[in-house]
Structure 1
């Protein structure tokens, strides 16, 4: 608060010849009044002048309280976000658990259905194994009946096959190969004798045999005159054949 000190008036006697005290007070009051042509600073600014009489500690305390309020607000926001995150994670866990339970139930149902058809599955497996065994076992099979028919057709008219010996590879063991470098790779050997009413032209026979499937080479073992008739000849020939002679009838089955 502003203390206004009134001017002290020293009483003097009338006879002192000094100035009149009442005249001095009136003069001071008149000089303190604003003139009519001037305006106060408050009127120029447009606001009422105020004086802050609070001590500085009060303002510091107010700022500290505002900082504490902001800190608590941040803590509350962080706690809210944490709670929302926990709720979201819990919801995802529940959804995952539900999906896992549904998958397990479906798996159990499928296993139950599988057990119902276990006999059929065993049959299918046995059939598949049998088909595989046929493919493996039949991979080296040669239809000798059809092959001998082809040999017979390649021989000249009047010549007939009398004896046959065949030897071929198996699915579990390779076929023995020739010792000569001039002999080709083979998978089977066919030896047969043929009866001819005339002296056979063996080179022509061998040339006609080249058209057979899988033909590798051929050799004439012997040509003899029949002792019984004295007019017929017997010729012995050996043929080597390769994979081209396989019938492949089981190839592609069971795929």
Structure 2
């Protein structure tokens, strides 16, 4: 297994930048590239939520695609959501690497034949402990010591969602779950990876998002207080999730089971 030199990726943004993220981080583009990028990478941004999609003629030049989270429903019928489903089906047929985060995880599932809907247990906001299936392993590094590094049986990740995957596509495999969500992570072959949580978020970003959800009456003050208290007491395993995502996107071959 080798990692090739320079890689080119497309970030498919399914959300508008909040004023806070723009001011503090320069936008979600910077948040994602800080998490997933390496020196020498090239990242192009397409704001699919605004109808900005890559040309079909340009898809071949990308080594991988990342779909962001979104306040929109992955089970909705907005024009851009339906167009995104068609794009993801095309990328699947082309065997392109696609990583879906939160909404991205859900829309990948929908596009490839699975089922997505509202969670029966309501919002999941905070740091959630995710449990991997027993035989899960992921090649992360090229060095001999880490070439077949075993991921710990559980990892914590930041979550913020009220929808979830109910059923993965036929042929896909569930890799992780939590006490709140049945499909925290799934894969479809060697080129599709969905993660329900947010490897790119930090607690500062989530705290601001909690405030915005409260201000638009999506969650009540009791929920806010409990979520912020839980955030003070837990830490996400950011580095491990970063390694999983980068290992998936940047290896020429991956072994997931």
- Fold conserved between structures, TM > 0.5: no
Q: Of the two structures, which has the highest relative contact order with CA contacts closer than 8 Å and spacing of 6 or more?
A: 2
Name whichever structure is richer in strand by fraction. 2
Q: TM-score range by the shorter chain?
A: under 0.3
**Bigger Rg over Cα:** 1
State TM-score, norm by structure 1.
0.21
State TM-score, norm by structure 2.
0.21
Name whichever structure is richer in helix by fraction. 1
